[in-house]
Structure 1
Amino acid sequence: MLEEYKVHVKERSLLGIPALPLNAKQVADLIELIKKPFAEEEAFLLDLFSNRIPAGVDQAAYIKAAFLADITKSRVKTPLIDKPLATKLLGTMLGGYNIEPLVSLLEDEEVGDIAVKG
């Protein structure tokens, strides 16, 4: 998945156009990589997850929000995204699937102040 996306980015760059955002399948694959990242790809994985998934209400955004919500509820652990970062990333999603998880975090002692900013 990573190599395919890198090729996609390069091809689109040669055409002078930005890469397409990740689709739902790519996001699901990316999440599996984030759960057990290779050290040399950690920064790239986090960049893709933070910046290449649509912020709206499509299936890719749903998968992202659900994963982040699971991190904030300690259902999932990953060395790349802790609870504060997951909360911050939920706050960047511009409404939709991130609303319920953010609201549930408003009174959380650890990340409530981050959720308020989202």
Structure 2
Amino acid sequence: MESLMIVLVGILVSVGTYLVLSRNIIRVIVGTAILSHAVHLLILTVGGLKKGDVPLLSHSGGPFTDALPQALILTAIVISFAVTAFLLVLAYRTYVTNGSDDFQELRGMSDE
């Protein structure tokens, strides 16, 4: 199962990198969101898919699962959602102000 997740992380990283290298602002924002999801899956995969009980003080024996990867992923999801929302608002404001969402046009370079 971990090898399938690693392949999926590789595909998401390649798609995210392709979108980040685009000239369109919206594609760059979607690319960063996909890269953040790839990192979330990578953290979950590195944490391992362990089976066990919840770590409670009343239980004495047996294997326990580690809650740290899930806590890190939850924090990263909240941060990436906030960054994506900020970038979308910034892209909207840039489009309203300049009338374009192309990086080449925003730099003042034309496609002649």
> TM-score normalised to the size of structure 1?
0.26
Select the structure with the greater relative contact order (CA < 8 A; seq sep ≥ 6). Answer: 2
Normalized per residue, the structure richer in helix is 2
> TM-score normalised to the size of structure 2?
0.27
